[in-house]
Amino acid sequence: MKEIMPVNGQFVMMELPYSALGNVISAQTLCFHHGKHLKAYVDNLNKALPGSGFEGKSLKEIVCKSEGGMFNNAGQVLNHTMYFEQFSPILKPASAKLTSLIEKNFGSMDAFKKEFEQKGATLFGSGWVWLSVDRDGKLVITQHKNAENPVTMGLRPLLTFDVWEHAYYLDYQNRRADYLTALWQIVDWSVVESRLD
C-alpha cells in the first residue's frame, strides 16, 4: 500500500484525478464529498497533529495506532483517498491476472460484485465495504463502520465503496443499492491492481 506522508508537518488533500464521473456520481456530489467532507477530515487531522506524538508519521501508522478523534479523521482521510483514487470516467477493465484472482476466490466476477454490493447494502448506518488481501493471499470482503479501514486488521486493502449517506444521497437519495451497482461503471481496475503489490 502506498505510504501517505505529511509535508512540512501537514497532510495535503489529494486532488481528484478527474473532473467528472459521467452519470454515476454527479459534479455536485464530487464537490461536496471531496471539497467539503474530505477537506474537513484533512483539516481536523492537521489541527490535531501538533503535540499528539504522531507528527511525521505516515497516515497508515496513525490509523493503526491512534484512537478517538485522531483515528476518526485519519481513517477518513485514508479511506476517502483510496475511494476517490480508484475511479475513472474512462473504462479501465480488470486485467486477465486480476480477473483470474477474483474468479479463483469468488467463482466469477459477477458473483464477486454481487457479494460486494450485498455487503455494502446491508451495512447498518455509516461505513465502508472493502475488498482486501489477507495474510494467506486470499481475497476477502469486509464491512467496516464509520472510519475503520482493514489495515488495522492486518489486511491489504484493494477496493472500497463508501456507504455513508453523504456519498450518494444527492444523486440516489435512499437508493444505496442503486448507487453501489452503478459504481462498477467507473472503477479503475488498474488502480485496484496496483494495490496488490
Collapsing DSSP to helix, strand or coil, 36 comes out as helix
Question: Judged by CB under 5 A, does residue 148 bind Mn ion?
Answer: no
> Which single residue brings its beta carbon nearest to Mn ion?
162
Count of chain residues binding Mn ion (CB under 5 A): 3
Nearer to Mn ion, 41 or 54 (CB): 41
Nearer to Mn ion, 57 or 73 (CB): 73
156 to 185: interface string for Mn ion, x by CB under 5 A = ------x-x--x------------------
Q: Which residues contact 113 (CB under 8 A, 6 or more apart)?
A: 184
Evaluate whether 127 touches 146 at the Cβ level (below 8 Å). yes
**Radius of gyration (Cα) for the chain, nearest Å?**
16
Angle, helix 109-121 to helix 96-106, in steps of 10 degrees = 70
* Sequence letter at residue 22: G
Please tell me the distance from the alpha carbon of residue 33 to that of residue 181, in angstroms, as a whole number. Answer: 19
Nearer to Mn ion, 85 or 134 (CB): 85
Shortest Å, Cβ 54 to Mn ion: 22
Nearer to Mn ion, 99 or 142 (CB): 142
Run of H or E residues at 121? helix 109-121
Shortest Å, Cβ 171 to Mn ion: 13
Shortest Å, Cβ 157 to Mn ion: 15
Interacting residue ranges for Mn ion, rule: CB under 5 A? 162, 164, 167
